[in-house]
Chain A
């Protein structure tokens, strides 16, 4: 009963994730999506990140922005945003010029515009190690727990990995979380947990079966 309830909840989450994917797709964060980087420099070192954050939020309509210090002297910040329009940069320039009594133009901001990474670029470093790990883990499982049935162990393990990853991505979709710094650690944890969970389940079933066979 408990298991059925759990499977039901997982199915609902994954279904909701699929629906959200169809409606809005993934929220690609700055790490993988296209970005605009703007440098903002004040000679006397009076850059206040909170103030800048406020101006950035107003100028770029609340777009997710990362503000980092450049070098070690507190004179410059790097603002990373999803691709922004020229008009938004103009608004930003207007606001910082007013706030800091400057006369900056776009050239002073050293703007870098970059396209998003392709799916191939993002996943290619992970394909080989993840596939090799899964393959070797599957070989171990089907050999170690062979008396549970080759196909049963194989398919259940693959299913566990797929379901946990689907669950992770569904949660990102449902809550519109950006695919950013957190996604790789979370996905790798998911992979590790899925593998160990399935090994644990197989081991439990294997012991049970062995016990039954001994009793017979």
Chain B
């Protein structure tokens, strides 16, 4: 009995040591002549990985507009130079509105942690967010005014614009040619009537001699032309489908089209900036938590865990050593889980790890106490203690699950880290801590006999 328990105990300790080695040292493989750790890296939060700082300023440039009264056949059209942003639009409420619209766009573009501020005197906007390569592609959408317009291709008369748009939707359908991704612009009642009228006017006509004439519209997003076309049929549903692209078998292309359509959809649905902005600063900022500070945090964690294990060893001697090994194993497995699950290692995630380690310590301490006090009944008692600890932790499960679904990085990373901490707690203690301490209890009981 004793021999059997000792063997099982050794096997379990070896497993824990292996877990610790994998977690803290890594798994190395020879790649291109170099030993490379194949364990995934930690997904570091913005405090550790750096941020992107943008500054958007009110566009103070000018543009030339045609003077309507001079546009006759005899007179050449004259132009007047006017500011891109008139003085009337440069108000505090408009600056605030731009900030609110940008906030909605950021959320839609999946940016879940940012510091966004506006200077109400100058309208300058400062945006600091987690560094990502996607930001370069999204920058155009951050400063885009979001102005959608359908114009007469010849006269540039605005026929329809944002004022009549109810919503934009990304849609797709599949036919023999492949999958067609399009943006469906849905207009309100007034827009529906206007669109129907436009679709009857801007068509291809053929005279008696067979000469065809096309009357085109230009569809613009801000000042960029999306397409110049004419209508082949009357648009009576109040919906205008704009083709973004067609992909046959290329899944990446299809994903890009869907992404592109989604980005324009976000622009249109969240409203239009009343002011035109331009980018002033776009730069990568190094992490606020430097390597030196990070080392201090890690050292702090090591000291706390060392104190915990020391306490257990002093209080419970041999059983304490096993308990200490168990705590280190828990932390190791937890960190492996964190690496494999894309948990963002922010300061909040560190807080969740701290909570998880504390509850693990409390359980291991109580279980070790059982081994010391009632070794002959340890299996049943540890099981009871384990189930009790789970029932106590249910509010923490609630906290973790609620936080996981929040689209704000500080909360989300805390929630995800806590969730994995609790899950590892369940699995690790059931499969490792409980058997380890039970084997130790068996050995103590055998020694007593």
Contacts and interface: CB of A to CB of B under 8 A. Distances in A.
B and A form one assembly = yes
Interface of A: 31, 37, 39, 66, 68-72, 76, 78, 110, 112-115, 117, 125-126, 128-129, 132-133, 136-137, 140-141, 144, 181-182, 184-186, 188-189, 191-193, 195-196, 199-200, 203
Given A144-B391, A181-B289, 13 more contacts: A68-B285, A71-B283, A78-B53, A110-B280, A133-B402, A136-B395, A136-B402, A141-B395, A185-B347, A185-B348, A192-B352, A193-B355, A196-B395
A188 B414 contact: yes
Contact of B286 (A37, A68, A110, A125): A68
B286 A181 contact: no
Contacts of A128: 406
B223 interface: no
A136 B399 CA distance: 9
B399 A115 contact: no
6 contacts: A71-B283, A72-B284, A112-B281, A117-B115, A188-B348, A196-B395
Given A110-B281, A192-B355, A137 B119 contact: no
A117 B117 contact: yes
A188 B354 CA distance: 11
B350 A185 contact: yes
Given A66-B288, A140-B398, A181-B288, A133 B403 contact: yes
B65 interface: no
Interface in B22-66: 47, 53, 55
B406 A112 contact: no
Interface in B387-406: 388, 391-396, 398-399, 402-403, 406
6 closest A-B pairs (Cβ-Cβ)?
A: A137-B395, A185-B351, A69-B286, A125-B408, A114-B117, A189-B351
B284 A188 contact: no
Prevailing SS type, chain B contact patch: helix
Contacts of B358: 193
Contact of A114 (B126, B289, B347, B355): B126
B391 A112 contact: no
Given A37-B126, A188-B414, A191-B399, A199 B283 contact: no
Contact of B406 (A37, A129, A140, A141): A129
B418 interface: yes
B402 A129 contact: yes
B135 interface: no
Contacts of A112: 55, 124, 126, 281
Given A140-B395, A192-B418, A196-B396, A182 B402 contact: no
Contacts of B393: 196, 199
Interface string B330-361: 00000000000000001110111011001100
Contact of A184 (B287, B348, B398): B348
B2 interface: no
B351 A188 contact: yes
